[in-house]
Amino acid sequence: MAEFLSLQGAVNRHIRNGDTVCMEGFTHLIPFAAGHEIIRQEKRDLTLIRMTPDLIYDQMIGAGCAKKLIFSWGGNPGVGSLHRLRDAVEKGWPNTLEILEHSHAAMACAYEAGAAGLPFAVLRGYIGSDLPKVNDQIKFIDCPFTGERLAAVPSIRPDVAVVHAQRADRKGNVLVEGIVGIQKEVVLAAQRSIVTVEEVVGDLDAGVNACVIPAWAITAIAEAPKGARPSYALGYYDRDNSFYKQWDGIARDRDTFLAWLKNNVFDQNAEKGVA
């Protein structure tokens, strides 16, 4: 049953050095407040998994939290490169970073297989691509019924899932609206989960087919208003596209990045919200 904790308490209790952590939210509801708390608590040697690493993992990689990254698209959408990710991959700063890359389709299927309790996912994918040559998690199998050659990837079953959602009710049931991405799948695939929410309300006011994650499928809930900024939360605030553009300049240079990190993460605390 979901336990209500402070964000500081939830990260402290449920994320350990060396864990495999999926912080999801496909271009929406990206859990930045939780990412900043992980940076502040100086978690180390994490294997970070996320389809679109985005600024959140750029920040965590630059802050030295990650030893490995599993992903399918590592850019600043519509802007360009993730410079901290590139610096880690190309120059080993602040530490070397092992990468394993997939396609979106494969990762989406791997999350779904994780939620379904299966050891692997099967898809019609990676045909003609060089990705299987550089990622030993990608294999090919023959369909036992038709003989068709299909791709197989291991399911994703992380130690911890971290997602952000619009709201929880007081029992800890969570409503996710808009681009729901793979939020539900990653929570169900993980051993433990932390869900940050914009607000806790008396009634979720959810439609009968809404994407609701029941309290008994979640480990911890932390209230984190504006916890997805500069990403967005449909119905609460818009994506701060201008910050995504500014990030290119901030992240390009190590000293500028470190100064940003000090002012906007280390000198803040979870209760103040995201800068």
Query: Rule CB under 8 A: which residues touch other proteins?
Result: 26-28, 51-52, 71-75, 77-79, 81-82, 85-86, 89-90, 101-106, 108-109, 111-112, 123-131, 134, 148, 178-182, 184-185, 211, 230, 232, 234, 237-245
CB 56 within 8 A of CB 274: no
- For 6, 23, 32, 165, 180, the CA distances from 270, given in Å and listed in that order, are 8, 17, 11, 17, 24
- Written as six digits, the tokens of 156 are 């994703």
Indicate the residue among 40 and 239 with the shorter CB distance to other proteins.
Answer: 239
Task: Quote the least distance from Cβ 13 to other proteins, whole Å.
Answer: 29
Task: Say whether the peptide bond before residue 230 is cis (omega within 30 degrees of 0).
Answer: yes
Task: Quote the least distance from Cβ 239 to other proteins, whole Å.
Answer: 6
Task: Quote the least distance from Cβ 236 to other proteins, whole Å.
Answer: 9
Task: Quote the least distance from Cβ 133 to other proteins, whole Å.
Answer: 8
Indicate the residue among 99 and 266 with the shorter CB distance to other proteins.
Answer: 99
Of 3, 71, 66, give the one whose Cα is nearest residue 38. Answer: 66
∠ CA 251-255-256, nearest 5°, is 50
Cα separation, 152 vs 155, in Å, equals: 9
Indicate the residue among 17 and 129 with the shorter CB distance to other proteins.
Answer: 129
Indicate the residue among 75 and 94 with the shorter CB distance to other proteins.
Answer: 75
